[in-house]
Amino acid sequence: MSSAVIFPAQPEQILKGLGKLWTSLGEEEKQHGKPTVLRACAMTLIVATDENDGGFYVSQTISELMREHPSRGIVLCVSPEAEKSLEARVLAQCWKPFGKAQQICCEQIEIVARPESWPNVGPTLIGLTAADLPVIFWCRHQAALSPQATRDERAGLEAVSSIATKIIVDTAELNPEAALKLIADWQMQGRVVADLEWTRLTPWREPLAHIFDNLARENTFSKFHTVEVVHTGERPSSCVLYIAAWLSRPYNAKVKFKREQGYGPGIQRIVLHSDAEAIQFERSSTDCMTLSSTNGRARKYSYQDTGLAELMTEELSILGPDGAFNAAFARAQELIRELE
Amino acid sequence: MSALVQPLPDVNPLQDPLRFARRVPPCAVVIFGASGDLSKRKLLPSLYRLFYERRISPNFAVIGSSRTPMSDDRFRDTMKDSVSKFLEDAPFDETVWKSFAQCLFYVPGDLNNPSSYDDLRVKLDAVEKSHQTAGNVLFYLSTQPSHYAEAILELGAHHLNKGNGWRRVIIEKPFGHDLNSARKLNDEIHKVFDESEVYRIDHYLGKETVQNILAFRFGNSMFEPLWNRRYVDHVQITAAESIGVEGRGAYYKEAGALRDMIQNHLSQVMATVAMEPPSVFDATNVRDERAKLLRSVRVMKPEDVPTYAVAGQYGPGKVGGQDLPGFRQEPSVDPDSQTDTYAAVTFFIDNWRWAGVPFYVRTGKRLPKRVTDIAIQFKSPPLGLFQQETKTGPREVRPNLLVVRIQPEEGISLRFLSKSPGSGMRVRPVSMDFNYGSSFGERTPTAYETLLVDAMAGDPTLYTRQDMVDASWQIVQPILDVWAHSIFDFPNYPAGTWGPKASDEMLARQGHVWRVP
């Protein structure tokens, strides 16, 4: 990480600060006599956080993300402790690939805003987005996502989401009704929205989908009439609803939810039932998943909780609409109504 | 239940191509030469990695075969050692291995012995049932090249070329020893397998950056208009290795640099750089264009060979204070060997796009560093308005250079001129870099992973076709013929240098110099 200067949150001044930062990095290049710094940017990534979430953790995640998705990172920290209504600092996140001489650097802007100033941050952000590149808004400000959000928080959220190509949220901590309503509202406005709770399902979904690639399989997917999802939480969470929705939607299969203790939080087991066979995919230990069928062999997979940076890396690879998520989301809304 | 009345889907409704890796159908992979180096170092680690990343079907099996007597369990143990040792940039997971090992089987056998193929058939039938491989079989010939024809004919004689599912065969290089032997091998193969079932592997084509050349050229509109004789001065393709023959002396003394690298890998790279855009990005159209380009390469007359091709062989040298042996001092190498460990060739492509543009291709062992790249040298601006600022004073500007780096740091660099800050109009070259590793931080699949998945999925785009192999032999055959009757004054370059002086002179005759990559 290099250079950090405080600026009032005026886009021109912030960009000027960035320019100086790159000049100073170029000086280093000149001293070495060959290119040592590579500047990279493929998108603008705006991360909204609250005072409990900001600082090192977000910066660390952005620095991990930039290896695959180099971006102009804008961290917007909303804090009542902020000295000024809006202020900013610029820095460069650099990393040197193992064994390589050249550093890869991405620029990062940190904006600290008082809660009442958040609704006014839009023009600043618009001035700071990298030209001609997508703008991704990752909202980690949980209070603003909750139904109890204040008027300023709602307006602040709208100010940022209105300039975003894609909005990414994590509904793991939200109750599923609120989570689904939030996303549905955005979708109604034509926004592209992703939920990291869906992203967490990829290690579950992919092996299950793979089974039905085998056209020689006697029991095709359409013959499975019941989907059973066993979970640890008191109620089915967003990810439990999503997986059930994804599996039940194509042929309108019956869905059963069941609660059990297991290895770690979340989904423990998924069972697909047909008249002739049951396919079971379960967390068989803390670091292993087992896929088995009453008609076939068992196959084990290593299981590791997917880290935030990995989840975001996957989401940032998909900038347009996600048909599979949208279809599952629509079915999840039906399931949650049925649960009520 | 509505499932009962809905029609069966044509495609898997759970598929999510945005997030899931490309699917491949169930199949059994039969590796002939399973106890060999290629299997241990590349094939099994690649298959394990594909399994680990769930990029191959759960209904999958590997049947290894070689002369070494071994049980299934012994084969699994041997391969476990190899996979854990040679897995590149990837973790070895004991739990996943146990699952993978259940898919490994072994059939001891001699390619000359017909009963070995009966044993193989029994094992394939068993695996088809136990692992639901749907009768699909991918044969991988990782044996001595002299056994290719024999193995294929035996597969045909035992009807292993047909079955309940598809049958495909992957053939490693070298594909023939010269034009005639390559044609003969093709004829033998076609007695058993249709051309559409034959996958001739050239692992260079599986490298991400080589594939990226197509994306770079045909996915962007800004470079293609410059990609021709009007703007390109010349092209240099370099594949340099810092190591010597490393115990492969016995093989290498028969092959040489021209056969080992230029006939296959580098001619395919050249074709990728210079081919016309395909009308559709599919296997047939892409390979048609590659083949067409190779057929457009001017075939040298024998009297032109000394002017346009240079052979070299490294002698002893010193690198980093360490004494390095010459080729003739390597084990299993004749002290009077005439084998080329370095080859440089000037190719001309006789078509409208490239007429008159030299394509310089060089490869060698014991060069100063391991690097493979392609440099497109553009012509200088028609009028020299500026002088370039250098440490020793101003000089004429260096023209634009586009470098596609294949290894070790995959990426693309564009050199262009920029004004130096300050008064006066002095310019200096600056470089705009695209680094594959940093822009796409995820682990790049190895060439063998890419190519194995392609073969299982039935996509031969990155494999060479009969006419491509034929054309690439045609362009090197006159050189081989002349060199076969020449006595070279070898060694002609010390280990650790950029090759023989004659190679520099070959470019100098055209007014060019080799880049230092």
Query: Is A204 in CB contact (< 8 Å) with chain B?
Result: no
Nearest CA of chain B to the CA of A246: how many Å? 8
Q: Is B25 in contact with A215 (Cβ distance < 8 A)?
A: yes
B168-207 burial: b if 16+ Cβ within 10 Å, else e: bbbbbbbbbbbbebbeebbeebeebbeeebbbbbbbbbbb
Q: How far is A114 from chain B (nearest CA, A)?
A: 35
Residues 6+ apart with CB under 8 A from B287: B460, B461, B464, B465, B468
Coil vs helix vs strand at B261: helix
What is the CA angle A241-A242-A248, rounded to 5? Answer: 85
A41 in contact with B, Cβ within 8 Å: no
Distance from the A73 Cα atom to the nearest Cα atom in chain B, whole angstroms: 15
B433 and A CB contact within 8 Å: yes
- Of residues B378, B361, B375, the one with CA closest to residue B227: B378
**Chain A hits for B409, Cβ within 8 Å:** 100
| CA distances, B463 to each of B201, B249, B458 (Å) | 5, 27, 11
Of B19, B132, B438, the CB nearest to A104: B438
Rg (CA), chain A: 23
Question: Taking a contact as any Cβ pair under 8 Å apart, which residues of chain A between 48 and 67 contact chain B?
Answer: 67
Which of A43, A263, A274, A300 would you mutate first to test chain B, the one with the most B CBs within 10 A? A300
Question: B441 — contact with chain A (CB < 8 Å)?
Answer: yes
Tell me if chain A has a CB within 8 Å of the CB of B23: yes
CB distance from A96 to chain B under 8 Å?
no
Is residue B358 within 8 Å of residue B234, measured between CB atoms? Answer: yes
Nearest CB among B3, B18, B431 relative to A253 is that of B3
What are A46-95's pLDDT values in tens digits? 999 987 775 557 777 888 887 778 888 899 988 888 777 777 778 777 76
Q: Report pLDDT for B4.
A: 40
Dist CA B311 CA B259 (whole Å):
12
Helix/strand/coil for B107: strand
Backbone dihedral angles phi then psi of residue B443, each to the nearest 5 degrees: -60, 130
Q: Which of B6, B54, B437 has the CB atom closest to A222's CB atom?
A: B6
Q: Is the ipTM of this complex over 0.85?
A: no
Residue B440, classed as helix, strand or coil, is: coil
CA distance B455 to B190: 18
Residue A38: pLDDT band with limits 50, 70, 90: low
Asked if A208 is an interface residue toward chain B (Cβ–Cβ < 8 A), one would say yes
Q: A222 to chain B: which residues are within 8 Å by CB? A: 3, 6, 8-9
d(CA A95, CA A157): 31
At B407 the pLDDT is 80
Q: Are residues B14 and A212, on separate chains, in Cβ contact within 8 Å?
A: yes
- Find residues 65-84 of chain A whose CB sits inside 8 Å of chain B: 67-68, 70
Chain A: give the shortest CA distance to residue B409, in Å.
8
Q: What is the pLDDT of residue B1?
A: 37
pLDDT tens-place string over residues A271-314: 999 998 899 999 888 778 888 888 777 777 777 778 888 899 99
Helices (H), chain A: 11-32, 56-65, 122-128, 142-145, 151-161, 176-188, 196-199, 202-211, 238-248, 308-316, 323-339
How confident is the model at residue B3, as a pLDDT? Answer: 40
Q: Which residue of chain A has the CA closest to B17?
A: A324
CB contact under 8 A, B132 and A217: yes
- Is-above-0.80 flag for pTM? no
CA dihedral B413, A97, B22, B272 (to 10 degrees): 20
* Chain B residues within an 8 Å CB radius of A296: 132
Best B4, B5, B92, B99 member to test A by mutation, with max A CBs in 10 Å, is B99
Give pLDDT, residue B244: 86
A82, exposed or middle or buried, with CB in 10 Å at 0-12, 13-18, 19+? middle
**Residue A35 pLDDT:** 56
* Residue among B353, B347, B341, B256 nearest B299 (CA): B347
CB-based contact B438 A97, cutoff 8 Å: yes
Cα–Cα distance, A231 to A236 (Å, whole number) = 7
Residues of chain B below pLDDT 50: 1-10, 438
With beta carbons less than 8 A apart as the criterion, state whether A41 and A70 touch. Answer: yes
Indicate the DSSP class of residue B355: T
Give the DSSP letter string of A44-84. EEEEEEETTT-THHHHHHHHHHTTTS-EEEEEEEE-TT-SS
Q: Say yes or no: A39 contacts chain B, CB-CB below 8 A.
A: no
Nearest by CB to A209, which of B16, B135, B440? B16
C-alpha distances in angstroms, A38 versus A45, A95, A132, A240?
Answer: 19, 10, 20, 42
What is the least distance, in Å, from the CA of A294 to any CA of chain B? 14
- Of the residues B190, B203, B265, B485, which is catalytic? B265
The DSSP 8-state label assigned to residue A223 in this structure reads G
The whole-angstrom distance between B237's CA and the closest CA on chain A is 23
Provide the number of CB pairs (under 8 Å) joining chain A to chain B: 134
d(CA A197, CA A179): 10
- pLDDT, one tens digit per residue, over A77-88 is 888 887 777 777
User: What pLDDT score does A55 carry?
Assistant: 54
Examine the residue annotation and report whether B265 is marked as an active-site residue of this protein: yes
Chain A residue with Cα closest to B98: A300
Burial level of B85, CB count in 10 A (0-12/13-18/19+)? exposed
Please count the other Cβ atoms lying within 10 Å of the Cβ belonging to residue A22. 16
Distance of CA A131 to the CA centre of its chain: 23
As a whole number of angstroms, the distance between CA B275 and CA B353 comes to 9
Query: What's the pLDDT at B466?
Result: 93
Q: In whole angstroms, what separates CA A44 from the centre of its chain?
A: 15
A140 by Cβ neighbours in 10 Å (0-12 / 13-18 / 19+) ranks as buried
Q: Tell me what pLDDT residue A237 has.
A: 93
Distance of CA B92 to the CA centre of its chain: 26
| Residue among B20, B96, B134 minimizing CB distance to A214 | B134
Question: Is the Cβ pair B15, A213 closer than 8 Å?
Answer: yes
**CB B106 within 8 Å of CB B33:** no
What single DSSP character describes residue A203? H
Q: Which residues of A touch B48 (CB under 8 A)?
A: none
Q: What does the pLDDT read at residue A233? A: 86
- Which residues from B are below 8 Å from A42, CB to CB? 439
Closest Cβ opposite residue A302 in set B1, B25, B93: B93
Judging contacts by C-beta atoms under 8 Å, the chain B residues touching residue A214 are: 25-26, 57, 59, 132, 134
User: Dihedral sign, CA of B272, B275, B277, B281?
Assistant: negative
Residue B389 at interface with chain A, using a CB cutoff of 8 Å: no
Instruction: Identify all chain A residues contacting B59, using CB atoms and an 8 Å cutoff.
Output: 214
Nearest to B474 by CA among B237, B298, B225, B271: B298
Residues 53-112 of B with CB under 8 A from A: 54, 57-59, 93, 95-96, 98-99, 102
CB–CB contact A102 B21 (8 Å): no
More confident residue, A31 or A19: A19
pLDDT digits (tens, 9 = 90+) for A193-242: 999 999 999 989 988 888 887 766 777 888 899 999 999 988 899 999 99
Query: Which of B9, B99, B438 has the CB atom closest to A299's CB atom?
Result: B99
Contact B95 A210 (CB under 8 A): no
Give the gap in angstroms from C-alpha A200 to the nearest C-alpha of chain B.
12
Interface of A with B in 214-253 (CB under 8 A): 214-217, 220-225, 246-247, 250-253
Distance from A322 to chain B by nearest Cα, in Å?
Answer: 8
List CB contacts of A120: < 8 A, sequence separation 6 or more: A85, A86, A159
